[in-house]
Amino acid sequence: MKVCVFGASGYVGASVFQLAKEIPEAEVTGTYLEEPALFDDLYKLDVNQPESFSDFYKEVDPDVVIWSVMDGPNEHELTDQGLLHLITHLTPQTKLIYISSDFVFTEGKGPYSEADPMSKLPDDHLFSSYANAKIKAERFITNELSNYVILRAGPIYGENKIGKLDERTDKLSCYLRSGKPVAYRDDLIRTFVHVNDLAKVIQEQIESDVTGIYHTGESESRSFYEFMRMTAEQFGYNKQLVEKGSEREKVDQEVPKDTSLNTEKIRQITKLTFG
Ligand SMILES: NC(=O)c1ccc[n+]([C@@H]2O[C@H](COP(=O)([O-])OP(=O)(O)OC[C@H]3O[C@@H](n4cnc5c(N)ncnc54)[C@H](OP(=O)(O)O)[C@@H]3O)[C@@H](O)[C@H]2O)c1
């Protein structure tokens, strides 16, 4: 079975690439964009370049594709160009595993189930490129393909398979190590998911016939403030240094408040216990 991880140099992609390689019958390839590549055996590829994408794809000809690329403010290009190129190359036999986000629920009135309608942000909103591109990507996939799994995730945290921490926890550790207070908002409710739990679900999905949309993560949702206090305690730091942050926002930068995810459905298809 040939498996290709697009974005294998990224935070999530690196764990996925490592775990995919543990599958005995899998022949795994992966891509990176910016030097240096995280692993020696990755291909340098800009997924937005149709010719090089096509050449690479035809050479690799995968049975399973994992899309773990992200480009924040330019996320639209990844959907309109990269993902569209990919969709034109996929055969019905090729399974696509796409990592989506809780930001498809921009009204922020969670907890959300898989069947709940997605909603876009206004175009001039700070997060519209990312959130709206994810919605568009999900629509392309569900309209054009049948052999896919969309895994929606809230904030992804923890040390990945190569020892890299997510940016939020890294920042928390930096502050607390130096005895400085750090503030997080208590009004933003999320379903957190550990990076290696998400990667394990993807590893299971590589070998499975399951298709559809699934919410990933722990059954309990938490605010950033609660989650970071808990993390501080787990790391052995003084949790009193984690303070409540300001909730004042500009209208065009307003963050969706509760994007927590109901994760019941995925428990029917995985042996994994999140968290
Ligand atoms: N991190 C989170 O909290 C979170 C939450 C929900 C969903 N997600 C989703 O999880 C997936 C992985 O995110 P991540 O946190 O691992 O992001 P990441 O660390 O930023 O990794 C994204 C990767 O995408 C690659 N990339 C960007 N533009 C590219 C292009 N034009 N062509 C080829 N590769 C390109 C980058 O390659 P180089 O590094 O080689 O430049 C990078 O390694 C994304 O789909 C993201 O939307 C993440």
3-38 tens-digit pLDDT: 999 999 999 999 999 999 999 999 999 999 999 999
Q: Ligand 1 test: best mutation among 19, 33, 70, 166, most atoms within 8 Å of CB? A: 70
Q: Which residues pair with 43 in a beta bridge?
A: 31
H-helix or E-strand spanning residue 226: helix 224-234
Residue 61 has pLDDT above 90, yes or no: yes
Residue 252 has pLDDT above 90, yes or no: no
Q: What pLDDT shows up at residue 271? A: 87
Residue 250 has pLDDT above 90, yes or no: no
Q: Ligand 1 test: best mutation among 4, 5, 6, 11, most atoms within 8 Å of CB? A: 11
Mean per-residue pLDDT over the chain, rounded: 96
Q: What angle do CA 152, 153, 154 make, to 5 degrees?
A: 135
Q: Which domains does the chain have, with CATH numbers?
A: 2-158+191-219+262-268 (3.40.50.720)
Q: What pLDDT shows up at residue 72? A: 86
Q: What pLDDT shows up at residue 253? A: 87
Q: Whose CA is nearest to atom 7 of ligand 1?
A: 101
Question: What stretches of 128-173 adopt beta strand conformation (E)?
Answer: 148-153, 156-157
